[in-house]
Amino acid sequence: MLSNEIRLTSKEILEKDFKTSMRGYNQEEVDEFLDIIIQDYNKFNEQIQRLEAENERLRKSSDELRTRQSVQPAHQVNYDILKRLSNLEKEVFGRKS
């Protein structure tokens, strides 16, 4: 199961030291690769923050729309009733020219 918790910061990645052995990795290659990881990591964090803000904005917009829609049908019903009443009055009392 994946956890939503981020385990490393870009600073921790940057400061990570690896032990070397006789046939160890080329330190410059490792550093270059970690630099790329740090850049991507920071971009992902920025994207997550942007998407969370957009998600919140859309949630608020959706809530406002739902509120307006719950109020709007009552106005529409009132309009329809007034229109029918007006048409009925015209039929019963005749049209005024």
* Alpha-carbon span 42 to 45, nearest angstrom: 5
Instruction: Produce one character per residue of 76-93: b if its CB has 16 or more CB atoms within 10 Å, e if not.
Output: eeeeeeeeeeeeeeeeee
Average pLDDT over residues 7-12: 85
| pLDDT for the residue 50 | 95
pLDDT at position 96 over 80: no
| pLDDT for the residue 71 | 65
| pLDDT for the residue 6 | 79
Confidence bin at 1 (pLDDT 50/70/90): very low
DSSP annotation of 49? H
How is the chain split among helix, strand and coil, in percent rounded to 5? Answer: 75, 0, 25
* Alpha-carbon span 52 to 54, nearest angstrom: 5
Confidence bin at 76 (pLDDT 50/70/90): low
| pLDDT for the residue 61 | 93
pLDDT at position 73 over 70: no
Give the angle subtended at the CA of 31 by the CAs of 25 and 34, to the nearest 5°: 110
pLDDT tens digit sequence for 17-66: 877 777 788 888 888 888 999 999 999 989 999 999 999 999 999 998 88
Among 73, 63, 27, smallest CA distance to 55 is for 63
